[in-house]
């Protein structure tokens, strides 16, 4: 074995066998600071984006009006024939109209949007 590495390996072995430092003797101010930093990270990475998505969805649902083409969470696509406060009357085929909850809408589509494009955009 190389004679240069022998003293280095001896020091590493001694350090590896040293007892662990006592835990729990940290500064309480530092602990609360770390908790505050973690809460700030959670807020900016999880809570704030979810609130933004919810606000955009509420805004989209409030803008649904008669004549709009909509995509539902279950995959149905239809035209709004009557928009009420909480429900919509949707025309899904000639002579076929269904009532649906406003909350079940996943997207408002353009008049010329194909089904394949609608499913890819959501």
By C-alpha distance, which of 72, 99, 75 is closest to 88? Answer: 99
What pLDDT digit, counting tens, does each position of 36-60 carry? 999 999 999 999 999 999 999 999 9
Q: Can you tell me whether residue 49 is helix, strand or coil?
A: helix
**HSE-up (13 A, CA, CB side) for residue 3:** 0
Q: What is the CATH number of the domain that holds 91?
A: 2.30.30.100
Q: How many domains does the chain have?
A: 2
Backbone angles phi, psi at 112, to 5 degrees: -105, 15
Is the same domain home to 32 and 73?
no
Is the same domain home to 99 and 69?
yes
Domain span at 46? 28-62
Q: What percent of the chain has pLDDT over 90?
A: 47
Is the same domain home to 55 and 74?
no
Is the same domain home to 40 and 85?
no
What pLDDT digit, counting tens, does each position of 15-41 carry? 556 555 555 567 888 999 999 999 999
């Amino acid at each position: 074995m190389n004679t240069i590495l022998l003293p280095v390996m001896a020091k590493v072995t001694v350090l590896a066998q040293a007892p662990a430092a006592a835990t729990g003797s940290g500064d309480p101010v530092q602990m609360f600071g770390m908790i505050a930093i973690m809460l700030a990270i959670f807020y900016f990475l999880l809570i704030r984006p979810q609130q933004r998505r919810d606000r955009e969805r509420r805004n989209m649902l409030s803008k649904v009006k008669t004549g709009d083409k909509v995509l539902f969470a279950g995959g149905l696509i239809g035209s709004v024939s009557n928009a009420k406060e909480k429900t919509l009357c949707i025309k899904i085929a000639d002579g076929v109209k269904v009532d649906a909850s406003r909350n079940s809408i996943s997207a408002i589509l353009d008049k010329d949007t194909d089904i394949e494009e609608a499913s890819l955009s959501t």
